[in-house]
Structure 1
């Protein structure tokens, strides 16, 4: 066998290394499905994704409750950060008893037409099979509907990164017994379909996501003023008024951080069964999910805070509805 000249071998090695470097920095293609507007953690998750070059957001879709108003809020979040090109879709509307705490901010945004979230998701998977990460931050109704409509296409997702479930810890302090987590419990049937779909699932359950955005961090956020940080200040205030909460819990932002940097929440393999009440029970059997079971507060905030404080995303479009005065 003829040996290649050393110069050619070095050139080839350089090309391969360059190609590998490009592959490493290629952003992940992500669709975010979210019930933004009730709790404020969805807004943090979306803003973290918007501020992260590791993610290419193909679309934002609204889930659960008043999905038309949620889509309007997503439009404003994208527009005010200069990302008005991101497709925004409205999901399946449902009845909801949860307070839409950030409705005033959402209603001040411009009115635009939105497509169907389920159709959009399936069309994107068909166009880019095996490439799309679905970041699921709300009840799974849209996701269950997509599976029902076209399970073959749905299974061509690269993975689903899910904020949801309660494995060994429920809401509250460590040691709280597991319970039906909100996103899973709103539509247990849809969750059952997802966990039986054979799509890779990366879970960020209550065990690892109850990290507080406390007063020192809120004070630090107030030291800068950008469209993104100003919006977060208003949304936190509306959430406080609507829920009488103290420190926001950043459940969904932990899931977004995992998409950006997997080391922020190491996973273990489990077999998860979802019951009719929305409990996510680890049982015997072949693993059908991976889950992060321990909070990684230092790693998470080391990623989140610089992204929020150092970004300078500014929209150039008109993002607000016309004044009626």
Structure 2
């Protein structure tokens, strides 16, 4: 039976652990056929190799394409410094020679109305794909975005990192669902969840190491799985509440750069307005656990 969603994941994996969690979650979702991974923002080759390594730990063969390093806005890339530190011999991980934007355009345009794009980093690759081929925007089945903050004045990282790309994407007419901070922050991963994740084979053990690295970086004992929450809006929309359709506006420059607001009415976007935090957290961990256990069973002699 064909999966309900054929997906390309566009990610800045390697900094916040939630990207690695979202990728692992996708491997555990029967509803998803992950047809490709594209990386964005900063050292995208390193990010691509990280994605390839996690795919191998999950026992999966998925094409991975490195994408745009520099934001269209010209803003300096924020780099935590721990990206890739937990992995040995990453340079041995092979990725596809085609760049991410070319892959996005080729795959989406060749399969109009069939590919969901899940964008959980700055929107540079998606904006470049829109500019590269006028058919791209109309061919995307749905765009699922992690970004923004719609009930506060807080600039959110993904939008702030490339405001110009966000402007292009939100003017494109692509049907999209956007999950902002006011939604994702209702979900937390704490020590209790780590026991389940860590028991899920090599993939689970690596995720626990990544999660604990992120906790040390912030001197915290918990984290918000922003990106896995966004993935779940696609596969289990019944767990969420959504706004009517409207448009998203983002401040482009100055001290307010990255601040976003949602205006109901004309537009192709909706935003997440409500969810059940504990249930969503449990579903995220369930999928990661399935992915890790399935890989461990497959690898067993």
Q: Spell out the pairing of 1:43-82 with structure 2 (5 A cutoff).
A: 43-82=20-59
Measure the CA separation in 2 of the matches of 1:107 and 1:180.
35
Distance verdict in 2 for CA 1:28–1:310, change over 3 Å: closer
Please say if 1:140 is aligned against 2:123.
Answer: yes
Corresponding residue SS for 2:33: strand
Please say if 1:97 is aligned against 2:72.
Answer: no
Q: Does the 8 A contact of 2:156 with 2:181 survive in 1?
A: yes
Please report the TM-score for the alignment, with normalisation by the length of structure 2. 0.88
Please say if 1:186 is aligned against 2:161.
Answer: yes
Aligned match for 1:214, one of 183, 190, 197: 190
1:97 Cα deviation from its structure 2 partner: 2.4
Q: Does the 8 A contact of 1:267 with 1:290 survive in 2?
A: yes
Q: Which moved more, 1:272-281 or 1:35-44?
A: 272-281
Measure the CA separation in 2 of the matches of 1:250 and 1:291.
17
Q: Spell out the pairing of 1:237-248 with structure 2 (5 A cutoff).
A: 237-248=212-223
Q: Does the 8 A contact of 1:130 with 1:157 survive in 2?
A: yes
1:32 Cα deviation from its structure 2 partner: 0.2
Aligned length: 284
Q: Spell out the pairing of 1:166-205 with structure 2 (5 A cutoff).
A: 166-168=149-151, 177-205=152-180
Q: If you compute each CA radius of gyration, which structure gives the higher value, 1 or 2? A: 1
Q: Which 4+ runs in 1 deviate beyond 4 A? A: none
Gaps of 5+ in 1: 1-21, 169-176, 318-325
Aligned-residue CA RMSD (Å): 2.0
Aligned match for 2:133, one of 147, 150, 162: 150
Q: Does the 8 A contact of 1:35 with 1:63 survive in 2?
A: yes
Aligned match for 2:278, one of 298, 302, 310: 298
Report what 1:264 is aligned to: 239
Measure the CA separation in 2 of the matches of 1:106 and 1:63.
20
Please report the TM-score for the alignment, with normalisation by the length of structure 1. 0.82
Q: Does the 8 A contact of 2:5 with 2:116 survive in 1?
A: yes
Report what 1:112 is aligned to: 94
Measure the CA separation in 1 of the matches of 2:224 and 2:39.
20
1:100 Cα deviation from its structure 2 partner: 4.1
1:234 Cα deviation from its structure 2 partner: 1.4
Distance verdict in 2 for CA 1:241–1:302, change over 3 Å: closer
Please say if 1:88 is aligned against 2:70.
Answer: no
Report what 1:321 is aligned to: none
